[in-house]
Chain A
Amino acid sequence: MDMKCKLLVIGAGPGGYVAAIRAGQLGIDTIIVEGDRAGGTCLIRGCIPSKALIHAADKYQQMAAHTGTGYLGISITENPVLKFADTMAWKEGIVDRLNGGVEGLLKKAKVKQIKGWAKFRDAKTCDVDTKKGIVTISAEHVILANGSKPTELPFLPFGGDVLSSTEALMLTEVPDKLVVVGAGYIGLELGIAYKKLGSDVTFIEADTRILATYDKELTSPVQKWLKKHGISVHLGAKASGWTDNKLSYTDKEGKAQTIAADKLLVTVGRKPNTEGWGLENMAVDLDGPFIKIDKHCHTSMKNVWAIGDVTGEPMLAHRASAQGEVVAEIIAGKKREFNPNAIAAVCFTDPEIIAVGQSETQAKADGIETIVGKFPLMANGRALTMEAGEGGGFVRITARADNHVIVGIQAVGPHISELSGEFALAMEMGARLEDIADTIHVHPTVTESFAEASLSALGHAIHI
């Protein structure tokens, strides 16, 4: 079967489906091709299921804390019982609901959905292997939103008890002993969740610190949490192989070690999906492992666009979605460009971490004279009422010394991810410290810490 359309979107993840919906809204004749369920890594095997698992794990751990003598004056007599299969079913329910929601939204926007894996013959034509046979689609515009997948280590191939993040979200039981190779945000989020669910968790990290892309001050509360909960973290350790459920690695002294585990989770990054679907037939330039794009997300081939993880860091769903909207509007003839001031990133570790814009060190490296304000959650009333005041959480702002324009905001603490929206808004609006300080923040909320951090940078915080 042959099909023609104005816009062909490859991949129905948070980049592709948003692009397709927006294109549909703008009256563009659009086809979206996806081999899996709509929703992409984010919805099916990433952000959403992991957050569900993290939430359930957290709830389980909290309840366990009330067993016996109790806690906060609340006690339960017996340990809570974890029916992990039910937990996973609940998680799948959320995924199903969102998956159905996305497909419904695509339909509502009059986007044709073709299920199958696409293979490009040339830049504007692809064959899709569907249940009903090969469908050949030719389009005026193509958006490549192929996404990314977990990086596999050649000496620790996925399969059996060696898991990528995908399999770690689909386990049928909680492993007694879980070893995680790679203490980046994905490994930590999942490792911490399984710890809360009862696993004995150990991290093997090649770098000298966890979450190496964030500064030490910011990751220190997470480090403390891991220590407090008895999670071993072997830093400067290099994994080398997996035999008989034992991971062999070289420790930071260079000594060969082994560690036994029921499951081995390997989270050492993600790589773009650029192979196996005919990219080589499209005359599209690459930028390292990624597809090269300009500020309009346009590739080197006319009317071929690329968005999301396949175009490089930061590999974040919200970046992909924003790019998708921009490209759909450009194709509809609007003038747009993808040129954000900043993209916030969140780690759903315990405690949570947010970073948006530059840290003080990065700003200084750019030759910017800075002032920094920091406010501890310990001094925030609402944080205390939610048991979020302990653990060393804080909000930190870096601003230009000359005009007080904010160049970066970082924070760490329980529930702090919900502040990321305000942080991103402040950055995108080009806020100055005075803008934040003079915005009346609701009492009692954790957001007051943001205003206080601004005041602290200006030299007159009230509550510290």
Chain B
Amino acid sequence: MGQYYFKLPDLGEGLVEAEIAAIHVKVGDMVTEDQPLIDMMTDKATVEMPSPVDGKILSISGNAGDMITVGSAMVVIEVEGPGNDDRDPVKEEPDPVKAEDAVEKAPIKPPAAPVLTGATSEKPLTSPAVRRRALEEDVDLTQVPGSGPAGRISHQDVDDFIAAGGRVSVPSQQKRTAIEEIPVIGIRRKIAERMELSKRSIPHYSYVEEVDVTEVEKLRAFLNAGRTKDQPKLSILPFIMMATLKGMEKFPDCNSHYDPEHSLVRRFSGVHLGIASQTPNGLMVPVVSHGESRDIWDMASEMIRVSTAAREGKARREELSGSTVTITSLGKTGGIVTTPVINYPEVCIIGVNKIVARPMVVNETDIEIRQMMNLSSSFDHRVVDGFVAAELIQYIKGLLEQPATLFM
């Protein structure tokens, strides 16, 4: 028995979300392949989404009227065999025939894979002699870019392909003139829109401070050494999350959404920590909800769970929304300083830079090797004053430098 994650397929160029018009199944139902699961409404048409597999409905995310993001798991189906949780990207796609059907109903272009300008026919366009040569040289002609009219493949194209070690290339003396057009669609387009919205509407104020994490690193090593089997290995991130949580409690103005249309700041009592994560589909922000109800172990487990789900494309909608503050960390590639972009409509984002051992002056006269880490944070300057922002970061710095206070 495996689980099949049925995700909202890309319904067409540029469409990043669609509304659930109707749900035809409920949890526990047995469904057969091609049986209608859900009707999705785009701004152009209503598209029926048939089940790609036979199986039993384990869960359904969302209700009629909800907006669903392209790529998010809508229905989980228990299936015979391994399902699609082995993340074969091909298998995760809905049946291409069905997708085409859907596209036909909605008068929108099918999602295009990146293509070189100048489409070719199904079979590589070339002569029999080139085909024979490709066969002898073990060259897959579908991978060879044709330089001729309509993408026709010449002997020279095969030569170049082989010379480049089976990779797309052109001789170094030649000028490259091809322009690859990659449609910005789906999650990629969503990311672009969100970034633009944030940067265009929010006056960002950035603040960088260094934090001595020697003590918290010692504590982390100690906790990891003594952890039980069901406790996850702690990275620095859960400590920063704990510190951020406490920071939000002390500076609730930062744990809010700004709604300029209504001139309102929505201050949240709960702290929902967005964790910016790199996924195969691009940047996503899975959410550890209600940080205030979690201890460090729980914080770590939940963070691992939601970020794994996001990376594997299995995150539910509620696991990808509702954050009140966001932490962004690039780990070892974190650099010295970043200028994080606020996760709209939040007002605060904490950026974590890499930890490096540096000689530091301690006790005014001594030099010691300390573990140092910068925090680069951005604030919505419309509602968070520089002074408050600085105080928040200084408070977080204090918590991390005196880690016992994290647990008080």
Contacts and interface: CB of A to CB of B under 8 A. Distances in A.
B126 interface: yes
Contacts of B125: 405, 430
A335 B125 CA distance: 20
B150 A429 contact: no
A432 B149 contact: yes
B136 A335 contact: yes
B131 A434 contact: no
A400 B135 CA distance: 26
Contacts of B128: 428-429
* Most chain B C-beta atoms within 10 Å of own C-beta, residue among A402, A404, A405, A430: A430
B127 A429 contact: yes
* Most chain A C-beta atoms within 10 Å of own C-beta, residue among B119, B125, B128, B150: B150
Contacts of A430: 121, 123, 125-127, 152
Interface in A300-348: 334-337, 339, 341
B149 A434 contact: yes
A77 interface: no
Interface of B: 118-121, 123, 125-128, 131-132, 135-136, 138, 149-152
Question: Which bracket fits the contact residues of A?
Answer: 10 to 19
Contacts of B121: 400, 403, 405, 407, 430
A339 B131 contact: yes
Contacts of A429: 127-128
23 contacts: A334-B136, A335-B135, A335-B136, A341-B123, A400-B121, A403-B120, A403-B121, A403-B150, A403-B151, A404-B150, A405-B121, A405-B125, A405-B150, A428-B127, A428-B128, A429-B127, A430-B123, A430-B125, A430-B126, A430-B127, A430-B152, A432-B149, A434-B149
- Report, nearest first, the 4 A-B pairs whose CB atoms are least far apart: A403-B150, A430-B125, A335-B135, A335-B136
Contacts of A341: 123
Contacts of B119: 402-403
A336 B127 contact: no
A397 B373 CA distance: 71
Contacts of A402: 119
Nearest to A404: B150
Contacts of B127: 428-430
Interface in A366-425: 400, 402-405, 407
* Most chain A C-beta atoms within 10 Å of own C-beta, residue among B123, B128, B138: B128
Contacts of B136: 334-335
Nearest to B134: A335
A15 B125 CA distance: 28
B141 to A, nearest CB: 11
A319 B120 CA distance: 26
Interface string A35-63: 00000000000000000000000000000
A197 B123 CA distance: 47
A405 B152 CA distance: 10
A307 to B, nearest CB: 18
A405 B153 CA distance: 13
B123 to A, nearest CB: 7
A386 to B, nearest CB: 32
* Most chain B C-beta atoms within 10 Å of own C-beta, residue among A402, A403, A434: A403
B102 to A, nearest CB: 15
A341 B152 CA distance: 14
B181 to A, nearest CB: 16
Contacts of A335: 135-136, 138
Contacts of A403: 118-121, 150-151
A354 to B, nearest CB: 20
Contact of A337 (B123, B135, B150): B135
B383 to A, nearest CB: 53
Nearest to A435: B149
Nearest to A407: B121
A379 to B, nearest CB: 28
Interface in A405-464: 405, 407, 428-430, 432, 434
Contacts of B135: 335-337
A334 B136 CA distance: 7
